[in-house]
Protein backbone atom coordinates (compact mmCIF):
# COMPACT_ATOMS: atom_id res chain seq x y z
CA UNK A 1 0.00 0.00 0.00
CA UNK A 2 2.78 2.41 0.94
CA UNK A 3 4.35 1.72 -2.44
CA UNK A 4 1.83 4.12 -3.97
CA UNK A 5 3.00 7.75 -4.01
CA UNK A 6 -0.50 8.98 -3.09
CA UNK A 7 -0.49 7.07 0.18
CA UNK A 8 3.01 8.29 1.01
CA UNK A 9 2.02 11.92 0.18
CA UNK A 10 -1.14 11.55 2.31
CA UNK A 11 0.91 10.31 5.23
CA UNK A 12 3.52 13.09 4.97
CA UNK A 13 0.90 15.85 4.54
CA UNK A 14 -0.98 14.57 7.61
CA UNK A 15 2.26 14.33 9.58
CA UNK A 16 3.36 17.83 8.46
CA UNK A 17 0.00 19.47 9.23
CA UNK A 18 -0.16 17.77 12.63
CA UNK A 19 3.45 18.85 13.36
CA UNK A 20 2.87 22.49 12.33
CA UNK A 21 -0.42 22.57 14.28
CA UNK A 22 1.35 21.06 17.30
CA UNK A 23 4.06 23.75 17.04
CA UNK A 24 1.46 26.55 16.82
CA UNK A 25 -0.52 24.94 19.64
CA UNK A 26 2.60 24.75 21.81
CA UNK A 27 2.99 28.55 21.47
CA UNK A 28 -0.37 28.86 23.25
CA UNK A 29 0.19 25.78 25.42
CA UNK A 30 -2.69 24.00 23.66
CA UNK A 31 -0.78 21.29 21.77
CA UNK A 32 -3.16 18.39 22.46
CA UNK A 33 -6.32 20.35 21.74
CA UNK A 34 -4.94 21.59 18.41
CA UNK A 35 -3.89 18.02 17.43
CA UNK A 36 -7.40 16.78 18.41
CA UNK A 37 -9.01 19.45 16.23
CA UNK A 38 -6.77 18.52 13.27
CA UNK A 39 -7.58 14.79 13.65
CA UNK A 40 -11.29 15.54 14.00
CA UNK A 41 -11.21 17.67 10.84
CA UNK A 42 -9.33 14.90 9.01
CA UNK A 43 -11.92 12.34 10.14
CA UNK A 44 -14.79 14.57 8.95
CA UNK A 45 -13.12 15.00 5.58
CA UNK A 46 -12.70 11.23 5.22
CA UNK A 47 -16.32 10.70 6.23
CA UNK A 48 -17.45 13.12 3.50
CA UNK A 49 -15.39 11.25 0.91
CA UNK A 50 -16.82 7.92 2.14
CA UNK A 51 -20.38 9.21 1.77
CA UNK A 52 -19.58 10.46 -1.77
CA UNK A 53 -18.22 7.02 -2.63
CA UNK A 54 -21.27 5.33 -1.13
CA UNK A 55 -23.63 7.60 -3.06
CA UNK A 56 -21.80 7.00 -6.31
CA UNK A 57 -21.80 3.19 -5.80
CA UNK A 58 -25.42 2.89 -4.76
CA UNK A 59 -27.46 5.79 -6.06
CA UNK A 60 -25.61 7.66 -8.79
CA UNK A 61 -26.21 6.68 -12.41
CA UNK A 62 -22.99 8.42 -13.47
CA UNK A 63 -20.52 6.16 -15.20
CA UNK A 64 -17.47 8.05 -13.88
CA UNK A 65 -16.77 8.49 -10.16
CA UNK A 66 -16.66 11.99 -8.56
CA UNK A 67 -13.22 13.57 -8.53
CA UNK A 68 -11.32 13.76 -5.26
CA UNK A 69 -7.81 14.71 -4.23
CA UNK A 70 -5.13 12.37 -2.89
CA UNK A 71 -5.83 8.82 -1.82
CA UNK A 72 -9.56 9.25 -2.26
CA UNK A 73 -9.01 9.97 -5.95
CA UNK A 74 -6.95 6.76 -6.04
CA UNK A 75 -9.73 4.81 -4.29
CA UNK A 76 -12.42 6.19 -6.64
CA UNK A 77 -10.29 5.26 -9.64
CA UNK A 78 -9.71 1.72 -8.34
CA UNK A 79 -13.47 1.22 -7.88
CA UNK A 80 -14.04 2.59 -11.35
CA UNK A 81 -11.58 0.15 -12.98
CA UNK A 82 -13.05 -2.73 -10.94
CA UNK A 83 -16.53 -1.83 -12.17
CA UNK A 84 -15.30 -1.59 -15.73
CA UNK A 85 -13.68 -5.01 -15.41
CA UNK A 86 -16.93 -6.46 -14.00
CA UNK A 87 -18.95 -4.93 -16.79
CA UNK A 88 -16.60 -6.47 -19.34
CA UNK A 89 -16.83 -9.92 -17.67
CA UNK A 90 -20.63 -9.66 -17.52
CA UNK A 91 -20.80 -8.80 -21.21
CA UNK A 92 -18.51 -11.76 -21.98
CA UNK A 93 -20.68 -14.13 -19.93
CA UNK A 94 -23.83 -12.78 -21.57
CA UNK A 95 -22.26 -13.42 -24.98
CA UNK A 96 -21.40 -16.99 -23.96
CA UNK A 97 -24.96 -17.59 -22.69
CA UNK A 98 -26.51 -16.18 -25.87
CA UNK A 99 -24.17 -18.29 -27.99
CA UNK A 100 -25.02 -21.40 -25.94
CA UNK A 101 -28.74 -20.65 -26.28
CA UNK A 102 -28.42 -20.10 -30.02
CA UNK A 103 -26.46 -23.33 -30.51
CA UNK A 104 -28.83 -25.45 -28.41
CA UNK A 105 -31.76 -23.88 -30.27
CA UNK A 106 -30.14 -25.01 -33.52
CA UNK A 107 -29.63 -28.57 -32.17
CA UNK A 108 -31.87 -31.29 -33.61
CA UNK A 109 -31.58 -33.22 -30.34
CA UNK A 110 -33.67 -32.25 -27.36
CA UNK A 111 -31.72 -30.96 -24.35
CA UNK A 112 -33.20 -30.47 -20.88
CA UNK A 113 -31.73 -29.49 -17.55
CA UNK A 114 -33.51 -31.02 -14.59
CA UNK A 115 -32.91 -30.89 -10.85
CA UNK A 116 -32.23 -33.88 -8.63
CA UNK A 117 -35.99 -34.12 -7.94
CA UNK A 118 -36.69 -34.08 -11.67
CA UNK A 119 -37.99 -30.50 -11.89
CA UNK A 120 -37.44 -29.01 -15.31
CA UNK A 121 -35.15 -25.97 -15.17
CA UNK A 122 -34.62 -25.37 -18.88
CA UNK A 123 -35.16 -27.05 -22.26
CA UNK A 124 -34.52 -26.22 -25.91
CA UNK A 125 -36.87 -26.01 -28.89
CA UNK A 126 -36.17 -29.59 -30.06
CA UNK A 127 -37.19 -30.94 -26.63
CA UNK A 128 -40.52 -29.13 -27.05
CA UNK A 129 -41.08 -30.84 -30.39
CA UNK A 130 -39.91 -34.32 -29.30
CA UNK A 131 -41.58 -34.48 -25.89
CA UNK A 132 -44.49 -32.09 -26.40
CA UNK A 133 -43.31 -29.70 -23.65
CA UNK A 134 -44.54 -26.11 -23.43
CA UNK A 135 -42.02 -23.43 -22.54
CA UNK A 136 -44.67 -21.31 -20.84
CA UNK A 137 -46.09 -23.84 -18.40
CA UNK A 138 -43.73 -26.78 -18.06
CA UNK A 139 -40.70 -25.08 -16.48
CA UNK A 140 -40.68 -26.13 -12.82
CA UNK A 141 -42.85 -29.22 -13.46
CA UNK A 142 -41.47 -32.67 -12.72
CA UNK A 143 -40.38 -34.31 -15.99
CA UNK A 144 -41.50 -37.70 -14.67
CA UNK A 145 -45.05 -36.36 -14.25
CA UNK A 146 -45.14 -35.22 -17.86
CA UNK A 147 -43.44 -38.29 -19.36
CA UNK A 148 -45.29 -41.18 -17.81
CA UNK A 149 -43.96 -44.14 -19.81
CA UNK A 150 -43.39 -47.05 -17.34
CA UNK A 151 -39.84 -47.69 -18.65
CA UNK A 152 -38.96 -44.05 -18.08
CA UNK A 153 -40.36 -44.11 -14.52
CA UNK A 154 -38.33 -47.29 -13.86
CA UNK A 155 -35.22 -45.67 -15.41
CA UNK A 156 -35.60 -42.76 -12.97
CA UNK A 157 -36.18 -45.10 -10.03
CA UNK A 158 -33.05 -47.16 -10.69
CA UNK A 159 -30.96 -44.15 -11.80
CA UNK A 160 -28.45 -46.32 -13.64
CA UNK A 161 -27.59 -44.07 -16.57
CA UNK A 162 -24.87 -46.31 -17.98
CA UNK A 163 -27.08 -47.25 -20.95
CA UNK A 164 -29.54 -45.00 -22.79
CA UNK A 165 -33.28 -45.68 -22.73
CA UNK A 166 -35.49 -46.18 -25.79
CA UNK A 167 -39.15 -45.20 -25.49
CA UNK A 168 -41.86 -44.05 -27.89
CA UNK A 169 -42.44 -40.30 -28.02
CA UNK A 170 -45.35 -39.19 -25.79
CA UNK A 171 -46.82 -37.19 -28.67
CA UNK A 172 -46.31 -39.70 -31.48
CA UNK A 173 -46.20 -43.44 -30.80
CA UNK A 174 -44.40 -44.09 -34.05
CA UNK A 175 -41.40 -42.00 -33.10
CA UNK A 176 -38.74 -43.79 -31.06
CA UNK A 177 -36.68 -41.65 -28.69
CA UNK A 178 -33.29 -42.41 -27.24
CA UNK A 179 -32.95 -40.80 -23.82
CA UNK A 180 -29.59 -40.34 -22.14
CA UNK A 181 -29.27 -38.72 -18.72
CA UNK A 182 -25.98 -37.39 -17.34
CA UNK A 183 -25.54 -36.09 -13.79
CA UNK A 184 -23.33 -33.06 -13.33
CA UNK A 185 -22.52 -30.64 -10.51
CA UNK A 186 -24.48 -31.77 -7.49
CA UNK A 187 -28.09 -32.56 -8.13
CA UNK A 188 -28.21 -31.24 -11.72
CA UNK A 189 -28.97 -33.57 -14.61
CA UNK A 190 -28.65 -33.09 -18.33
CA UNK A 191 -31.20 -35.02 -20.41
CA UNK A 192 -30.44 -35.61 -24.10
CA UNK A 193 -33.36 -36.74 -26.25
CA UNK A 194 -32.63 -38.07 -29.74
CA UNK A 195 -35.04 -39.21 -32.44
CA UNK A 196 -33.79 -42.69 -33.47
CA UNK A 197 -36.89 -43.82 -35.37
CA UNK A 198 -34.99 -44.40 -38.60
CA UNK A 199 -32.14 -46.31 -36.95
CA UNK A 200 -34.66 -48.36 -34.99
CA UNK A 201 -36.58 -49.12 -38.16
CA UNK A 202 -33.40 -50.25 -39.99
CA UNK A 203 -32.47 -52.46 -37.04
CA UNK A 204 -35.95 -54.02 -37.14
CA UNK A 205 -35.61 -54.64 -40.89
CA UNK A 206 -32.24 -56.34 -40.29
CA UNK A 207 -33.64 -58.48 -37.48
CA UNK A 208 -36.72 -59.44 -39.49
CA UNK A 209 -34.55 -60.29 -42.48
CA UNK A 210 -32.29 -62.61 -40.45
CA UNK A 211 -35.31 -64.18 -38.73
CA UNK A 212 -37.15 -64.72 -42.03
CA UNK A 213 -34.13 -66.14 -43.85
CA UNK A 214 -33.40 -68.52 -40.97
CA UNK A 215 -37.02 -69.58 -40.91
CA UNK A 216 -37.18 -70.11 -44.67
CA UNK A 217 -33.97 -72.18 -44.55
CA UNK A 218 -35.35 -74.50 -41.95
CA UNK A 219 -37.88 -76.34 -44.14
CA UNK A 220 -35.55 -77.21 -47.06
CA UNK A 221 -32.89 -78.18 -44.52
CA UNK A 222 -35.29 -80.56 -42.75
CA UNK A 223 -36.15 -82.16 -46.10
CA UNK A 224 -32.46 -82.52 -47.07
CA UNK A 225 -31.56 -83.97 -43.66
CA UNK A 226 -34.51 -86.37 -43.87
CA UNK A 227 -33.41 -87.71 -47.28
CA UNK A 228 -29.78 -87.91 -46.13
CA UNK A 229 -30.93 -90.06 -43.20
CA UNK A 230 -32.59 -92.41 -45.66
CA UNK A 231 -29.42 -92.64 -47.77
CA UNK A 232 -27.60 -94.72 -45.18
CA UNK A 233 -24.86 -96.97 -46.72
CA UNK A 234 -25.26 -99.44 -43.83
CA UNK A 235 -28.87 -100.08 -44.86
CA UNK A 236 -28.24 -99.65 -48.61
CA UNK A 237 -24.94 -101.42 -49.47
CA UNK A 238 -25.05 -100.12 -53.08
CA UNK A 239 -24.34 -96.62 -51.64
CA UNK A 240 -21.04 -97.80 -50.18
CA UNK A 241 -19.07 -95.99 -52.92
CA UNK A 242 -20.56 -92.60 -51.93
CA UNK A 243 -20.49 -93.22 -48.18
CA UNK A 244 -17.83 -90.53 -47.55
CA UNK A 245 -19.57 -87.67 -49.41
CA UNK A 246 -22.86 -88.67 -47.78
CA UNK A 247 -21.27 -88.51 -44.36
CA UNK A 248 -19.88 -85.05 -45.13
CA UNK A 249 -23.25 -83.89 -46.43
CA UNK A 250 -24.92 -85.12 -43.24
CA UNK A 251 -22.33 -83.32 -41.10
CA UNK A 252 -22.74 -80.06 -43.04
CA UNK A 253 -26.54 -80.30 -42.87
CA UNK A 254 -26.23 -80.80 -39.10
CA UNK A 255 -23.94 -77.75 -38.78
CA UNK A 256 -26.32 -75.69 -40.87
CA UNK A 257 -29.21 -76.82 -38.68
CA UNK A 258 -27.32 -75.60 -35.58
CA UNK A 259 -26.56 -72.29 -37.33
CA UNK A 260 -30.23 -71.78 -38.23
CA UNK A 261 -31.29 -72.63 -34.66
CA UNK A 262 -28.74 -70.18 -33.22
CA UNK A 263 -29.80 -67.43 -35.64
CA UNK A 264 -33.45 -67.94 -34.73
CA UNK A 265 -32.66 -67.84 -31.03
CA UNK A 266 -30.64 -64.62 -31.48
CA UNK A 267 -33.52 -63.04 -33.44
CA UNK A 268 -35.88 -63.90 -30.61
CA UNK A 269 -33.47 -62.40 -28.08
CA UNK A 270 -33.06 -59.28 -30.25
CA UNK A 271 -36.79 -58.71 -30.39
CA UNK A 272 -37.05 -59.56 -26.67
CA UNK A 273 -39.72 -62.21 -27.29
CA UNK A 274 -39.55 -64.84 -24.61
CA UNK A 275 -41.73 -67.67 -25.75
CA UNK A 276 -41.42 -69.67 -22.53
CA UNK A 277 -41.79 -66.85 -20.02
CA UNK A 278 -39.86 -66.69 -16.77
CA UNK A 279 -40.25 -69.22 -13.99
CA UNK A 280 -38.36 -70.28 -10.87
CA UNK A 281 -35.55 -72.50 -12.13
CA UNK A 282 -33.61 -75.12 -10.24
CA UNK A 283 -30.12 -74.28 -11.53
CA UNK A 284 -28.56 -77.35 -9.88
CA UNK A 285 -30.89 -79.60 -11.85
CA UNK A 286 -30.30 -77.65 -15.07
CA UNK A 287 -26.49 -77.76 -14.78
CA UNK A 288 -26.61 -81.44 -13.80
CA UNK A 289 -28.55 -82.25 -16.99
CA UNK A 290 -26.16 -80.16 -19.10
CA UNK A 291 -23.20 -82.00 -17.54
CA UNK A 292 -24.73 -85.36 -18.45
CA UNK A 293 -25.19 -84.15 -22.05
CA UNK A 294 -21.62 -82.80 -22.01
CA UNK A 295 -20.26 -86.21 -20.98
CA UNK A 296 -22.09 -87.76 -23.92
CA UNK A 297 -20.72 -85.07 -26.25
CA UNK A 298 -17.18 -85.52 -24.90
CA UNK A 299 -17.43 -89.19 -25.98
CA UNK A 300 -14.03 -90.80 -26.24
CA UNK A 301 -12.09 -87.58 -25.47
CA UNK A 302 -11.73 -89.00 -21.98
CA UNK A 303 -12.26 -85.61 -20.31
CA UNK A 304 -13.05 -85.17 -16.63
CA UNK A 305 -16.30 -83.21 -16.33
CA UNK A 306 -17.31 -82.29 -12.79
CA UNK A 307 -20.20 -80.26 -11.43
CA UNK A 308 -19.70 -78.50 -8.07
CA UNK A 309 -22.85 -77.19 -6.43
CA UNK A 310 -22.22 -74.68 -3.63
CA UNK A 311 -25.71 -73.23 -3.35
CA UNK A 312 -29.30 -74.39 -3.64
CA UNK A 313 -30.40 -71.00 -4.99
CA UNK A 314 -32.96 -70.89 -7.79
CA UNK A 315 -33.32 -68.17 -10.45
CA UNK A 316 -36.44 -66.63 -11.94
CA UNK A 317 -35.51 -67.00 -15.59
CA UNK A 318 -36.34 -68.42 -18.97
CA UNK A 319 -35.42 -72.11 -18.91
CA UNK A 320 -34.91 -72.37 -22.65
CA UNK A 321 -32.60 -69.37 -22.75
CA UNK A 322 -30.50 -70.28 -19.73
CA UNK A 323 -30.18 -73.88 -20.94
CA UNK A 324 -28.92 -72.54 -24.24
CA UNK A 325 -26.43 -70.11 -22.61
CA UNK A 326 -24.98 -72.61 -20.13
CA UNK A 327 -24.87 -75.39 -22.78
CA UNK A 328 -22.92 -73.10 -25.08
CA UNK A 329 -20.32 -72.44 -22.38
CA UNK A 330 -20.02 -76.09 -21.33
CA UNK A 331 -20.02 -77.49 -24.89
CA UNK A 332 -17.38 -74.92 -25.92
CA UNK A 333 -15.22 -76.13 -23.03
CA UNK A 334 -15.67 -79.75 -24.23
CA UNK A 335 -15.03 -78.80 -27.85
CA UNK A 336 -11.89 -76.71 -27.33
CA UNK A 337 -10.28 -78.66 -24.46
CA UNK A 338 -7.83 -81.39 -25.43
CA UNK A 339 -8.24 -85.12 -24.87
CA UNK A 340 -7.98 -85.95 -21.16
CA UNK A 341 -8.63 -82.29 -20.15
CA UNK A 342 -10.54 -81.16 -17.06
CA UNK A 343 -13.78 -79.19 -17.10
CA UNK A 344 -15.31 -77.90 -13.86
CA UNK A 345 -18.72 -76.33 -13.61
CA UNK A 346 -19.70 -74.39 -10.47
CA UNK A 347 -22.97 -73.00 -9.12
CA UNK A 348 -22.06 -70.66 -6.27
CA UNK A 349 -22.82 -67.31 -4.68
CA UNK A 350 -21.02 -64.38 -3.08
CA UNK A 351 -22.51 -61.44 -1.17
CA UNK A 352 -23.96 -59.72 -4.21
CA UNK A 353 -24.21 -62.34 -6.97
CA UNK A 354 -25.17 -65.87 -7.92
CA UNK A 355 -22.47 -67.21 -10.20
CA UNK A 356 -22.25 -69.95 -12.82
CA UNK A 357 -18.61 -70.66 -13.55
CA UNK A 358 -17.32 -72.89 -16.36
CA UNK A 359 -13.61 -73.58 -16.10
CA UNK A 360 -11.37 -75.66 -18.34
CA UNK A 361 -7.67 -76.39 -18.67
CA UNK A 362 -7.79 -76.16 -22.46
CA UNK A 363 -5.60 -74.11 -24.82
CA UNK A 364 -6.77 -70.73 -23.47
CA UNK A 365 -7.52 -67.60 -25.49
CA UNK A 366 -5.12 -64.75 -26.29
CA UNK A 367 -6.10 -61.59 -24.33
CA UNK A 368 -6.49 -59.55 -27.54
CA UNK A 369 -9.40 -61.81 -28.67
CA UNK A 370 -11.34 -61.70 -25.38
CA UNK A 371 -13.15 -58.34 -25.85
CA UNK A 372 -14.40 -59.51 -29.28
CA UNK A 373 -15.47 -63.09 -28.43
CA UNK A 374 -19.13 -62.18 -27.96
CA UNK A 375 -19.40 -60.58 -31.43
CA UNK A 376 -21.47 -62.56 -33.91
CA UNK A 377 -19.31 -64.94 -36.00
CA UNK A 378 -16.10 -63.89 -34.27
CA UNK A 379 -13.75 -66.86 -34.06
CA UNK A 380 -10.20 -67.05 -32.75
CA UNK A 381 -9.17 -69.50 -35.47
CA UNK A 382 -11.98 -69.44 -38.06
CA UNK A 383 -10.97 -72.58 -40.01
CA UNK A 384 -10.33 -74.75 -36.98
CA UNK A 385 -13.34 -73.55 -35.00
CA UNK A 386 -15.68 -74.18 -37.93
CA UNK A 387 -14.21 -77.69 -38.37
CA UNK A 388 -14.93 -78.33 -34.68
CA UNK A 389 -18.61 -77.70 -35.36
CA UNK A 390 -18.93 -74.17 -33.92
CA UNK A 391 -21.42 -71.74 -35.44
CA UNK A 392 -19.56 -68.63 -34.21
CA UNK A 393 -22.75 -67.50 -32.45
CA UNK A 394 -22.42 -69.35 -29.13
CA UNK A 395 -20.94 -66.57 -27.00
CA UNK A 396 -23.12 -63.91 -28.70
CA UNK A 397 -26.12 -65.94 -27.52
CA UNK A 398 -24.65 -66.24 -24.01
CA UNK A 399 -24.12 -62.47 -23.81
CA UNK A 400 -27.64 -61.71 -25.06
CA UNK A 401 -29.32 -64.21 -22.74
CA UNK A 402 -27.41 -62.80 -19.77
CA UNK A 403 -28.25 -59.22 -20.73
CA UNK A 404 -31.88 -60.26 -21.01
CA UNK A 405 -31.65 -61.54 -17.43
CA UNK A 406 -29.74 -58.47 -16.14
CA UNK A 407 -26.68 -60.65 -15.73
CA UNK A 408 -23.12 -60.24 -16.97
CA UNK A 409 -20.53 -62.44 -18.68
CA UNK A 410 -16.87 -62.23 -17.64
CA UNK A 411 -14.08 -64.13 -19.35
CA UNK A 412 -10.64 -64.90 -17.98
CA UNK A 413 -8.13 -66.92 -19.93
CA UNK A 414 -4.43 -67.68 -20.07
CA UNK A 415 -2.79 -69.22 -23.11
CA UNK A 416 -1.69 -72.77 -22.35
CA UNK A 417 -3.48 -72.86 -18.97
CA UNK A 418 -7.18 -72.67 -19.74
CA UNK A 419 -10.25 -70.45 -19.69
CA UNK A 420 -12.89 -69.46 -17.18
CA UNK A 421 -16.32 -68.10 -18.09
CA UNK A 422 -18.38 -66.46 -15.31
CA UNK A 423 -22.09 -65.61 -15.46
CA UNK A 424 -22.91 -63.07 -12.74
CA UNK A 425 -26.59 -62.84 -11.74
CA UNK A 426 -27.15 -59.87 -9.46
CA UNK A 427 -28.99 -60.72 -6.23
CA UNK A 428 -30.59 -57.27 -6.33
- Binding positions for ligand ADP, rule: CB under 6 A: 328, 332-333, 336, 360, 362-363, 365, 373, 379-381, 385, 390-396, 419
Q: For residues 124 and 391, which CB has a smaller minimum distance to ligand ADP in the complex?
A: 391
Q: Which of 377, 343, 366, 373 is nearest to 413 (CA)?
A: 366
Give the whole-angstrom CA distance, residue 339 versus residue 396.
26
Q: How far is the CB of 389 from ligand ADP (least distance, A)?
A: 8
Q: How far is the CB of 418 from ligand ADP (least distance, A)?
A: 7
Give the whole-angstrom CA distance, residue 353 versus residue 425.
5
Q: For residues 194 and 400, which CB has a smaller minimum distance to ligand ADP in the complex?
A: 400
Q: For residues 130 and 393, which CB has a smaller minimum distance to ligand ADP in the complex?
A: 393
Q: For residues 131 and 401, which CB has a smaller minimum distance to ligand ADP in the complex?
A: 401
Supply angle C-alpha 297, 378, 216, rounded to 5: 75
Pairing of strands 279-282, 176-184: unpaired
Q: How far is the CB of 362 from ligand ADP (least distance, A)?
A: 5
Q: How far is the CB of 348 from ligand ADP (least distance, A)?
A: 19
Q: How far is the CB of 365 from ligand ADP (least distance, A)?
A: 5
Give the whole-angstrom CA distance, residue 122 versus residue 54.
38
Q: For residues 110 and 363, which CB has a smaller minimum distance to ligand ADP in the complex?
A: 363
Give the whole-angstrom CA distance, residue 357 versus residue 347.
7
Q: For residues 49 and 324, which CB has a smaller minimum distance to ligand ADP in the complex?
A: 324
Give the whole-angstrom CA distance, residue 309 versus residue 344.
11
Q: How far is the CB of 403 from ligand ADP (least distance, A)?
A: 15
Q: How far is CA 52 from CA 7, 40, 81, 120, 180, in A?
A: 19, 19, 17, 45, 56
Pairing of strands 176-184, 165-168: antiparallel
- Cβ neighbours, 10 Å, residue 419: 24
Give the whole-angstrom CA distance, residue 4 versus residue 6.
5
Q: How far is the CB of 224 from ligand ADP (least distance, A)?
A: 22
Going by the DSSP 8-state scheme, the letter that residue 163 receives in this structure is S
Q: For residues 6 and 378, which CB has a smaller minimum distance to ligand ADP in the complex?
A: 378
| Secondary structure string (H, E, C) spanning 294-358 | HHHHHHHHCCEEEEEECCCCEEEECHHHHHHHHHHHHHHHHHHCCCCCEEEEEEEECCCEEEEEE
Q: How far is CA 261 from CA 46, 286, 291, 334, 382, in A?
A: 95, 20, 21, 20, 20
**Size of the chain, expressed as the number of residues it contains:** 428
Give the whole-angstrom CA distance, residue 301 versus residue 394.
21
Evaluated on CA atoms 140, 143, 145, 147, the torsion sign reads positive
Q: How far is the CB of 252 from ligand ADP (least distance, A)?
A: 15
Q: For residues 193 and 395, which CB has a smaller minimum distance to ligand ADP in the complex?
A: 395
Q: For residues 118 and 392, which CB has a smaller minimum distance to ligand ADP in the complex?
A: 392
Q: How far is the CB of 397 from ligand ADP (least distance, A)?
A: 8
Q: For residues 156 and 262, which CB has a smaller minimum distance to ligand ADP in the complex?
A: 262
Q: How far is the CB of 425 from ligand ADP (least distance, A)?
A: 20
Q: How far is CA 196 from CA 153, 167, 227, 395, in A?
A: 20, 10, 47, 28
Amino acid sequence: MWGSRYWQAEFWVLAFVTFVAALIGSLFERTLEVIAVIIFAYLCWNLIQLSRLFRWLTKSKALYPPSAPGVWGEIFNSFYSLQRQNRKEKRKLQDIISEFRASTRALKDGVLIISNQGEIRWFNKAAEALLGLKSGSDIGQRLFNLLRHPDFIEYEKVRDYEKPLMIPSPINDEKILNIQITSYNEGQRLVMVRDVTEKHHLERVRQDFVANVSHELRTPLTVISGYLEMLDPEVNPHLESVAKPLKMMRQQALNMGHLVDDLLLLSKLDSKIDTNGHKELDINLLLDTICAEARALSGDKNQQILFHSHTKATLKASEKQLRSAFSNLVFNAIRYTQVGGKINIYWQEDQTHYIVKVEDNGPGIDARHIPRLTERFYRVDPGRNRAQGGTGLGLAIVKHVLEYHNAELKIESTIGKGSCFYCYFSKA
